[in-house]
Chains A and B, each alone.
Chain A
Amino acid sequence: MDIRQDHIRNFCIIAHIDHGKSTLADRLLEYTGALTQREMSEQVLDNMELERERGITIKLRAVRLNYLARDGQEYALNLIDTPGHVDFTYEVSRSLASCEGALLVVDAAQGIEAQTLANVYLAIDHDLEIIPVINKIDLPSADPERVRNEIEEVIGLSAQDAVLTSAKTGEGIEEILEAIVQRIPPPQGDETSPLQALIFDSHYDSYKGVIAYFRVMEGRLAKGMPIKMMAIGKEFEVNEVGVFKPAPTLVDELRAGEVGFLAASIKNARDCRVGDTITNANRSAAAPLPGYRQVKPMVYCGLYPVESNEYGALRDALDKLKLNDASLVYEAETSEALGFGFRCGFLGLLHMEIIQERLEREYGLSLITTAPSVRYRVNTTAGETQEIDNPSLMPPSGSIVSVEEPFVAATIMVPQEFVGAVMELSQERRGVYKDMVYLSQSRVMIKYDLPLSEIIFDFFDQLKSRTKGYASLDYEWDGFRQSKLVKMDILVNEEPLDALSFIVHQDKSYQRGRALVEKLRSLIPRQLFEVPIQAAIGSKVIARETVRARRKDVLAKCYGGDITRKRKLLEKQKEGKKRMKQVGSVEIPQEAFMAVLKIGEDKR
Chain B
Amino acid sequence: MLENVGHSALYIHVPFCVRKCRYCDFVSYPYNESNARLYVTGLRREMELRLGDKHEKRWPLSTVFIGGGTPTCLSTKLLLEIITLIKGYYNLSSDVEFTIEANPGTVDAGKLSSLRLAGVNRLSLGAQACSEATLRTLGRIHTHEQTVSAVWQAREAGFDNINLDLIFEVPGQTLTEWERCLEQVIDLAPEHVSAYGLQLEEGTLLKEQVDSGLLQPCEEEDGINMYQAAINILQSAGLEQYEISNFARLNKQCRHNLVYWQNEDYLGLGPAAHSRLRRVRMSNETNLTDYTTRLNAGMLPVAWSEDITQENDIFETIFLGLRMTGGLDLERFKQRFGRSLNEIYPGLVESLVNKGQLKLRGNHLCLTPAGMLLANAVMCEFAPV
Interface residues as binary, B240-271 with A (CB distance below 8 Å gives 1, 0 otherwise): 00001100000000000100110100101000
Considering residues A550, A558, A561, which has the most beta carbons from chain B within 10 angstroms of its beta carbon?
A: A561
Known: A559-B257, A560-B67, A575-B385. A551 touches B197 (CB 8 A): no
Tell me the minimal C-beta distance from B98 to chain A in angstroms. Answer: 17
Binds B, one of A79-87, A276-284, A564-572: A564-572
Tell me the minimal C-beta distance from A567 to chain B in angstroms. Answer: 6
Docked CA distance A130–B372 (Å): 74
> Which of chain A's residues has its CB closest to B268's CB?
A561
A residues within 8 A CB of B312?
A: 567
Docked CA distance A569–B319 (Å): 12
Known: A552-B223, A556-B196, A558-B320. A570 touches B374 (CB 8 A): no
A residues within 8 A CB of B197?
A: 554, 556
Asked whether B383 is an interface residue with its Cβ less than 8 Å from the other chain, the reply is yes
Asked whether A362 is an interface residue with its Cβ less than 8 Å from the other chain, the reply is no
Asked whether A37 is an interface residue with its Cβ less than 8 Å from the other chain, the reply is no
Q: Of A553, A563, A573, A577, which contacts B320 at CB under 8 A?
A: A563
Asked whether B111 is an interface residue with its Cβ less than 8 Å from the other chain, the reply is no
Interface residues as binary, A561-591 with B (CB distance below 8 Å gives 1, 0 otherwise): 1111011011101110110000000000000
Asked whether B281 is an interface residue with its Cβ less than 8 Å from the other chain, the reply is yes
Binds A, one of B44-52, B170-178, B205-213, B272-280: B272-280
Known: A552-B374, A556-B245, A564-B306. A570 touches B199 (CB 8 A): no
A residues within 8 A CB of B375?
A: 553-555
Asked whether A604 is an interface residue with its Cβ less than 8 Å from the other chain, the reply is no
Considering residues A556, A559, A563, A575, which has the most beta carbons from chain B within 10 angstroms of its beta carbon?
A: A559
Considering residues A564, A566, A571, A578, which has the most beta carbons from chain B within 10 angstroms of its beta carbon?
A: A564
Residues of B in contact, count (CB < 8 Å):
46
Contact B376 A554 (CB under 8 A): yes
Tell me the minimal C-beta distance from A124 to chain B in angstroms. Answer: 57
Asked whether B283 is an interface residue with its Cβ less than 8 Å from the other chain, the reply is yes
Docked CA distance A574–B260 (Å): 23
Asked whether A557 is an interface residue with its Cβ less than 8 Å from the other chain, the reply is yes
Contact B257 A563 (CB under 8 A): no
B residues within 8 A CB of A561?
A: 11, 260, 266, 268, 273-276, 283
Contact A574 B196 (CB under 8 A): no
> Which of chain A's residues has its CB closest to B243's CB?
A558
Docked CA distance A105–B244 (Å): 69
Docked CA distance A562–B263 (Å): 12
B residues within 8 A CB of A550?
A: 374, 377
Known: A552-B223, A557-B196, A564-B306. A570 touches B376 (CB 8 A): yes
Contact B374 A528 (CB under 8 A): yes
Contact A563 B196 (CB under 8 A): no
Q: Inter-chain contact count A-B, CB under 8 Å?
A: 101
Tell me the minimal C-beta distance from B307 to chain A in angstroms. Answer: 12
Known: A564-B306, A571-B380, A571-B385. A553 touches B274 (CB 8 A): no
Contact A562 B283 (CB under 8 A): yes
Q: Of B26, B221, B224, B274, which contacts A563 at CB under 8 A?
A: B274
Known: A528-B374, A554-B372. A570 touches B383 (CB 8 A): yes
Asked whether B160 is an interface residue with its Cβ less than 8 Å from the other chain, the reply is no
Contact A573 B377 (CB under 8 A): yes
Asked whether B373 is an interface residue with its Cβ less than 8 Å from the other chain, the reply is yes
Tell me the minimal C-beta distance from B260 to chain A in angstroms. Answer: 5
A residues within 8 A CB of B257?
A: 559
> Which of chain A's residues has its CB closest to B274's CB?
A561
Asked whether B192 is an interface residue with its Cβ less than 8 Å from the other chain, the reply is no
Known: A556-B245, A561-B266, A570-B319. A551 touches B11 (CB 8 A): no
B residues within 8 A CB of A567?
A: 312, 315-316, 319, 383
Contact B373 A553 (CB under 8 A): yes
Docked CA distance A252–B199 (Å): 73
Considering residues B26, B227, B323, B385, which has the most beta carbons from chain A within 10 angstroms of its beta carbon?
A: B385
Asked whether B379 is an interface residue with its Cβ less than 8 Å from the other chain, the reply is yes
Contact B316 A563 (CB under 8 A): yes
A residues within 8 A CB of B223?
A: 552
Known: A551-B220, A561-B260, A573-B380. A556 touches B319 (CB 8 A): no
A residues within 8 A CB of B67?
A: 560
Known: A561-B276, A563-B281, A567-B315. A552 touches B373 (CB 8 A): yes
B residues within 8 A CB of A562?
A: 274, 283
Known: A560-B26, A564-B281, A571-B385. A555 touches B376 (CB 8 A): yes
> Which of chain A's residues has its CB closest to B257's CB?
A559
> Which of chain B's residues has its CB closest to A573's CB?
B380
Asked whether B381 is an interface residue with its Cβ less than 8 Å from the other chain, the reply is yes
Q: Of A551, A555, A571, A577, which contacts B199 at CB under 8 A?
A: A555
A residues within 8 A CB of B11?
A: 561
Considering residues B245, B320, B377, which has the most beta carbons from chain A within 10 angstroms of its beta carbon?
A: B377
> Which of chain A's residues has its CB closest to B281's CB?
A564
Contact A577 B244 (CB under 8 A): no
Contact B224 A552 (CB under 8 A): yes
B residues within 8 A CB of A578?
A: 385
Docked CA distance A398–B316 (Å): 59
Docked CA distance A391–B320 (Å): 48
Docked CA distance A320–B326 (Å): 55
Contact B260 A556 (CB under 8 A): no
Known: A552-B223, A554-B197, A571-B385. A563 touches B374 (CB 8 A): no
A residues within 8 A CB of B374?
A: 528, 550-554
Tell me the minimal C-beta distance from B249 to chain A in angstroms. Answer: 20
Contact B377 A553 (CB under 8 A): yes
Docked CA distance A591–B224 (Å): 30
Docked CA distance A528–B220 (Å): 13
Tell me the minimal C-beta distance from B277 to chain A in angstroms. Answer: 11
Docked CA distance A528–B378 (Å): 11
Interface residues as binary, B212-228 with A (CB distance below 8 Å gives 1, 0 otherwise): 00000000110110010
Q: Top 3 closest A-B pairs, CB basis?
A: A561-B274, A574-B383, A556-B197
List 16 extra interface pairs beyond A559-B261, A562-B283, CB under 8 A: A550-B377, A552-B223, A553-B376, A554-B244, A558-B320, A559-B260, A560-B274, A561-B260, A561-B266, A561-B268, A561-B273, A561-B274, A563-B260, A570-B376, A573-B383, A574-B381
In the complex, 23 of the A-B residue pairs with CB atoms within 8 angstroms, ordered by the A residue number, are: A550-B377, A551-B220, A551-B373, A552-B224, A552-B374, A553-B376, A554-B376, A555-B376, A560-B26, A561-B11, A561-B266, A563-B260, A563-B263, A563-B281, A564-B274, A566-B319, A567-B383, A570-B383, A571-B383, A573-B383, A574-B385, A577-B380, A578-B385
User: Which residues of B pack against A, CB within 8 Å?
Assistant: 11, 26, 67, 196-199, 220-221, 223-224, 227, 244-245, 257, 260-261, 263, 266, 268, 273-276, 281, 283, 306, 312, 315-316, 319-320, 323, 355, 372-377, 379-381, 383-385
